[in-house]
Structure 1
Amino acid sequence: MTAAVEMQSDAAALEAAALWCVQLSEGELTEREWAAFDAWLAQPGNADLLQEAAAIWQASGAIADWPGVIALRTRALVDFRKRDRRRWMGGPSWSMARMAAAAAVLIVTMVSIAWYALEPRGYRTGIGERQVAMLADGSHLSIDADTAVTVRMNDRARAVELADGRAKFDVARDPLRPFTVAAGDKLIVAVGTSFSVERINGEVRVILYKGQVEIRDRADTARQDDGARRVLLTPGSEFVAAVGSGRPAQISRPDLSQSLSWEQGLLNFDQEPLASAVARVNRYSARHVVLADPALGAIPIDGVFRAGDPDAFVDGIVAVHPMRRRVDGDEIVLERR
């Protein structure tokens, strides 16, 4: 047997295994079909081929219920059945032309499934809404209210874009695929670790809970020389930098338990600038708090408030600071008194 004939034979065997895998996944077979399957399975090597095909098919299970994949799989089966599957199951009467046609259907289906698997996945929470998601690699994503996140994954990288709001990432360890979060003009790079990223009032804030992350300027990501600006964050540290600013970032050691209070629906402020506190309060309520004078935003505040209760927050502020509240439609205005 020539090499070309052997390759053709191997390809046909793999295609047959894939077709049987599709058939078995779609429901019960008739007695005649089971007999054909048993005869095929008894041939040397076919059991291993079926196991390989099943592993590939099962690997697509995470997206099997996506509408696009269901439609593609259905079309492939309909087309296959139209091409007279019984002649194929009968054995040698199956022509190479029909085999090629069925293989083409499978290729289109698998390529389309791969495209859907790599399609960017968007997460968006509304006012007062929090969400928890498990990513395809096993990483855990906790999303704060009024937050927009986009996730892209392939066999080389895991990339997240934080457009707005705040999210915490518990990253599954995978040294061959770095986990990156782009926020503003910063890129946070991790492997297996736990950290949060927030965009608020023109700043990017990163808190590292465990592991290690490297923070880069996105404009420098292609540079490998010493001129590239990079910060290696250690556990228990917070990185704060203004987007688009050339000023050095600030590194501090926050209270980690306090920084995670938002996951329990609490807003915990410790000498927090009022402007940042108001921005976080406004994530949880359609009734927004507004500062009549931007200068008020620099006033540091303390306290623990329940998310979604802007009135209690404002009451606490006016009780200890020289401010008063004024209601203007759906807004609660804080002004000097």
Structure 2
Amino acid sequence: MSRSAIAEEIVEQAAEWQVLLSSHAGTVGERQALQARYEAWKHARPEHAQAAGRLERLIGDVRAATCTPVLADAGQQALAAGRRVVRRHGKARRMAGAALLALAVAVPAAWLPLQHYSLGMLLADFHTQPGAWRTVRLADGTSLTLGSASAANYRYDAGRRELELVQGQLMVDVAKDASRPFTVVTPEARITALGTRFAVTRHEGMTELFMLESEVRVQAAGTPAVPGLVVRGGQRVRIWADRVGAVQPLDVVAAGNYWHDRRLVVDDMPLPQVLDLLARERPGLVSFDRQALARYSVSGVLDLGDPERAMQLLATSFPIRVRSFGPWLIRIDPMQENPPPG
């Protein structure tokens, strides 16, 4: 058996042990026997101890912070997901995936802030938590800024510079290198830099490009044979897997304020889209009926640094009710209209 196959087995076994230990509901004697078997497995090989130790430390830290009871039902779901993760990712990411999945089993309430983010996000080369923005310098000198709850993978070698936007939004100030084109890819789009600064946002089934400076070439992912569309500074465009939309004008000053001052400037933007952007800026879930709120459009300036206050401000301008249920859930509903007089 190859070394990588052994590594996959160890990661999966460590996750399986955490599932078993967390979900076992037998007698005290049975639990002690299971614990003894786990200890024997852990000390059988150094690799076992390393994998088990990482999982134990992560679970122990979060348990201490949350004091959450264990729920056995999450066990089989986490184990099934863990098997998918160890087949798809390299060694380091398989270990991280197993740790996260075991955490979901051992401390279910700790999973709530993470549940509407994909494993792809959590295992990415670069990612941010809700409310956190991050700027990093890539190996080629390019400056990458990730917005809240965003993630990206970077592939860099002698012939290419490719940034995969997994989730959320990013802005890049591209370092010049004529021998290696710089490309941002999503499931819907391939965006090749011909200049410097631009931003990209992923929506469900659609990618949006904001051109701040210079120009890029854009292709829909599903139509690689179609010549790319050149998009220039002061323009924006939406891209679906099968087509590139019409080029629209972009307010470069407002876009700059968004990335530099975390101020959201909107002009006739549908309320559900505004709520999506605000929801990225906080942990947990913002729940609302998109169809019921789609008739409202927002124009104004909102502070992304305080999304809860921004939502309450929207409630003073629109007939909506904003309710908080603890730190992890906000529910937004349209106010009931008064019935016509009979």
TM-score by length of 1: 0.58
1:286 aligns with 2:286: no
Aligned position for 1:124? 127
Offset of residue 300 of structure 1: 1.5
Q: What are the within-5 Å matches in structure 2 for residues 27-106 of structure 1?
A: none
Which residue number in structure 1 is paired with residue 147 of structure 2?
Answer: 144
1:256 is the counterpart of 2:259: no
Query: What is aligned with 1:319?
Result: 316
Give the direction of change, closer, same or farther, for the CA distance of 1:316–1:261 in structure 2 (3 Å limit): same
Distance change in 2, residues 1:292/1:192 (3 Å) = closer
Match of 2:272 among 275, 285, 295: 275
The whole-number CA distance in structure 2 between the counterparts of 1:175 and 1:306 is 39
Aligned-partner residue type, residue 210 of structure 2: I
User: Closer, same or farther in 2 for the Cα pair 1:193/1:167, shift >3 Å?
Assistant: same
Identity of aligned residues (%): 25
Separation (CA, whole Å) in 1 of partners of 2:284 and 2:271: 17
Counterpart amino acid of residue 269 in structure 2: E
Secondary structure at the counterpart of residue 159 of structure 1: strand
Structure 1 residue 121: Cα displacement? 7.8
Q: C-alpha deviations, 1:102-130, integer Å up to 9, x for none?
A: xxxxxxxxxxxxxxxxxx98101111111
The aligned residue for residue 162 of structure 1 is: 165
Aligned 8 A contact 1:274 1:300 in 2: yes
* 2-structure distance, mates of 1:151, 1:248: 24
User: Distance between the aligned counterparts of 2:244 and 2:141, measured in 1?
Assistant: 34
Return the offset for 1:132.
0.6
- Please state how far the C-alpha of 1:322 moved relative to its aligned partner: 2.2
Letter in 2 for 1:217: A
Amino acid at match of 1:258: A
Q: Which has the larger radius of gyration?
A: 1
* Alignment root-mean-square deviation, CA: 2.2
Residue 194 of structure 1, CA deviation: 0.9
The change in CA–CA distance for 1:171 and 1:121 in structure 2 (over 3 A counts) is: farther
- Residue pair 2:267, 2:300 contacting (<8 A) in 1 also: yes
Corresponding residue for 2:238? 240
Check whether the contact 2:133–2:148 (CA below 8 A) recurs between aligned residues.
Answer: yes
2:334 alignment partner, one of 311, 333, 336: 336
1: CA distance between counterparts of 2:249 and 2:331? 32
CA distance in 1, matches of 2:204, 2:272: 8
Q: CA offsets, 1:53-109, max 9 Å, x none?
A: xxxxxxxxxxxxxxxxxxxxxxxxxxxxxxxxxxxxxxxxxxxxxxxxxxxxxxxxx
Query: Cα distance 1:148–1:281, how it changes in 2: closer, same or farther (>3 A)?
Result: same
* Residue 62 (structure 1) aligns with: none
Structure 1 residue 293, shift from structure 2 partner: 4.6
Q: From the superposition, tell whether residues 298 and 153 of structure 1 become closer, same or farther in structure 2 (CA, over 3 Å).
A: farther
CA distance in 2, matches of 1:298, 1:129: 30
The one-character-per-residue Cα deviations of 1:151-188 (angstroms, maximum 9, x if unpaired) are 11111110110010111011111121110100122100
**Runs of 4 or more above 6 Å deviation:** none
**Once the 2 structures are TM-superposed, how far is the Cα of residue 325 of structure 1 from its aligned partner?**
2.3
Deviation sequence 1:186-211 (CA, Å, 0-9, x none):
10011432111110243211011111
Instruction: Give the structure 2 partner of residue 304 of structure 1.
Output: 301
Q: What is the distance in 2 between the residues matched to 1:298 and 1:252?
A: 22
* TM-score between the two structures when normalised by the length of structure 2: 0.57
Distance 1:291 1:260 in 2: 29
